[in-house]
Chains A and B, each alone.
Chain A
Amino acid sequence: MFTLLQVELYKIFKRPRTYIAFIAIAGLIGIIQLGLKLDGDAYVNFVMSNVEQSFTFDGKLLNGYLVCYIILQLLLVHVPLLIALVAADMVSGEANIGTLRLMLTQPVSRCEIILAKFTAAAIYTLLLLVWMAILALFVSIWLFGTDDLIIQKTRYLVQLSKDDIFWRYVGAFGFALLAMLTVAALGFLLSVFAENSIGPIVATISIIIFFTILSTMSIPIFQKIQPYLFTTHMVAWKEFFDLKVNADNTALKGTLQNKSQIVQSAWILIAHIVLFVGVAMFVFKRKDILT
């Protein structure tokens, strides 16, 4: 199994396509950081204009933690597309170039092959997120320094003390990994059905875009189905950046407002991963490999 995994990882990282995602993320984060470094105050003033009617802020509003939050908010919608490029190619790519049949002549079970391929896709996803964390969090801290994090939620504004933020990012990136693994599992499942890469990649991207739109529209009929869409639960990483208040409306450091929501969303995403990989394994075991 370990040898299979090594082979799969070798195949992933030998393809130039794999590095597109790393370069794209570095480029996007770099552009956002450059823009905020040059004209970040204007951006923050624009975003905070709603609150600045009544309040003034004294301190470094534009700091590394806020920049990382802005980057995550912008990129975690688009990173699934980059993950689909690799995950949706795992099986279909080999079917396309004709190496799948050859591979199955080896003395390993189809289940092992599927598991090795998915684990390789998961490692790729993990590395992509680690890369994103290094650039978005650590480089932003280096460039912009640290201070409290002020986040605007739909109904209120949250101030997180700077000594109460780092663990939240660890949690948020951990949760983001689960969300991205769900995307990887979906792309992987679709790749089992196809004989070329384009179909499953486009299908995965289309499903993500379609579900994300449904998840974010505040229309009553869509709101009824939103809890059943995995894309709704993919944004639960934001719950790490909300805290409880006591009876005096004082925020309590180190707390989470909706811990149960995070746990529930995490389980729903895990269930989707297991379901998608399980179905992929079931289909692949029964599939007549002709290419």
Chain B
Amino acid sequence: MPDYSILVVEDEHTLRRLLEYRLGKQYDVRTASNGEEALERIAEKIPDLIISDIMMPKMDGFALQSAVQKNKETSAIPFIFLTAKADEQSRLKGMRTGVDDYITKPFDIEQLLSRVNRLLERTKVFQEQLDAKIGQDFSRRLLPKNLPDVNNYRILFHNNPREHGGGDLFDWMEAAPGTYIFTIGDVMGKGLQAKFYAFSFLGYVRSTIHAMLRSTHSPAELMNRVNQVLMDDPPMEETFASLLLVKWEPEKNLITYANAGHCRPVLVGPDGCKVVEYSDMILGLDPHAEFKDTELQLPDNTAFMAYTDGLSEQVMVTGDMAGEGGIMKAASKAFAELDPIDSLLKNILLQSKVPEFGDDILVFWLQRKGLDWFAPFPEKVDHQ
């Protein structure tokens, strides 16, 4: 049960205590005995819902409701009036001023509880819809609109952001003619907050890379700088991210990467997989962390595959997470398929406890084509 906070405003002591007791079983309840006190409570912490009597000394319910509505921060808080049964005038006035509900005294506590529930539920649904909308917008912006198109290479990318997923990010740029830099990362956390951090973090990464390109193309040097930014800049204090920076020079079939605590990439070929092992510490934790470049000569007919932890943390039928082992097994099987990423994901889902992914999924596939790679697709022609 979410920890909703409710403010009860009632001058009559017994009733106030009763409401505090009954609502307190489900919610975090605070009380006030008149409108003035209520505004003080609200200033301390904004409640998720207000239940208020109308007739009270000092400041009555109408004055409170109007003060709450005037304040932008509080104007959307659901408001329930408690009115005396006979007081039809107040009820009508309450309806006019935009009160969400009213309960006539003496009231049935169960009825009050169910109305409170319903109002909070509605607010929650509304909030979730809004979050989902903003989240989708962030996710879209965190994705590339196109991919490099280079002879003799096949580049694939798949991303499936979930509403409650994390802060996966992917980006690429052509640093110089024939030199590309790919950015694959994951900002820690879940939901909208993580997506927002990922979005701002990607901005940092992009501007850092752009600013440094004139002096270096070394992923490790870029990584050092990004880590410094995360460590030194107060707004980024709570941001931790794993990041894989990959420099790719297709003419030389050369990959140079620096890995800051990100899921280790895999080389996939016709004979199976191999982990690209070397990596350094995750970003944002240690100001003295050092990052190292590692070079890889990409063999013929081999793919360099990178992914985020949504894939490795997928829970399998065994109850364990897929991990590197599970991913490599699925990738080996998928290698020869027309759409290897799609096939890889299907293979993993087949082994999953629940047949859908629980988190964001991001897979990047950079494949050097084989010598026998001719259109339409390498097919066995033995029998001809």
Chains A and B come from one and the same complex: no
